[in-house]
Amino acid sequence: MNYDLWCGPRETAPVMREQFHYDWHWQWAYGNGDIGNQGPHQLDVARWMLHNPEKLPTRVMSFGNRWGYDDDGQTANNQLALYDYGKGTAPILFDNRGLPKADMNWQKGFEPVYKNVVRIGNVVHCEGGYIAEAKAYDNEGKWNGQKFAIQDGPDHMKNFILSIQAGKLVNPNLHVSHGHHAAALAHIANISYRLGKKVGPGEIKERLQGDKFALETFEDFAANLAANKIDIGVDQAHVGPWLTLNPDTLQFEGEFAAEANKLATEDVYRDGFKLAEVG
């Protein structure tokens, strides 16, 4: 393979990973961790539930760490992100865990991230209960027998091909802005994470005070670490600050804005791969 071409605009750094064709996700130069890998799939679905899914949040905060592995990975394998859309709009909470149920033994399987129901998927909280994996539950976790039909996406590929053939969108859900919003949610969370510092569990709980679901998720998050013999009090989480985002200008504002905007627009293009500036 042409490694220079593969690296594209980034530096041609030595290859420090065993699985060349996948583990690039764990290096900032080439990937965005699992929140930028699996994340946009679930973040895109989550934003469909919002009052205005075409808007990015006004605040974001993320924390996590790379736990359980002695490798050259840089991105977090366990990460939690909070997205605040302001008064009148529901928030989004993203929780990613890259560890097995216990003892760093993948033979024991994955830890479900929500009430033994969801391993990979979305949970939508309503006044009288929640929807998880296409089933409706009451607030006590009892399934009411209702199950919704799921379309896993074959029509997306069909619509994409039909749009190319027609030279126009055949379905409004194909608009490129939807990809932008799903990816941007991962990027802005990582920007908060990368501006963070090591913090103990007590301070994390203080930051999450008043947010019932965030506190519950953090307790499960910490319990999964403990089950894998990781003491979050010793091997602390990397906790990013709350960042304020102007969803109209796509610029960070207020405290940490200069550092955040620099990360969002860093110029790292090598000669031969620089993009032309478009007015």
Instruction: Report pLDDT digits (tens) over 232-254.
Output: 999 999 999 999 999 999 999 99
The DSSP bridge partners found for residue 80 are: 63, 95
List Cα–Cα distances, 260 to 73, 141, 191, in angstroms. Answer: 22, 39, 6
pLDDT grade, residue 107 (50/70/90)?
very high
* Cα–Cα distance measured from residue 225 to residue 97, given in angstroms and rounded to the nearest whole number: 9
pLDDT grade, residue 109 (50/70/90)?
confident
* Cα–Cα distance measured from residue 162 to residue 231, given in angstroms and rounded to the nearest whole number: 52
Q: Which residue has the tokens 């504002």?
A: 253
150: pLDDT strictly greater than 80:
no
H-state helical runs in the chain: 3-7, 39-48, 154-166, 176-194, 201-207, 212-227, 257-264
153: pLDDT strictly greater than 70:
no
* Cα–Cα distance measured from residue 253 to residue 265, given in angstroms and rounded to the nearest whole number: 14
Q: Tell me the mean pLDDT in the region 31-45.
A: 93
Q: State pTM to two decimals.
A: 0.91
Tokens of 208: 């999450």
Mean pLDDT of the chain: 90
152: pLDDT strictly greater than 70:
no
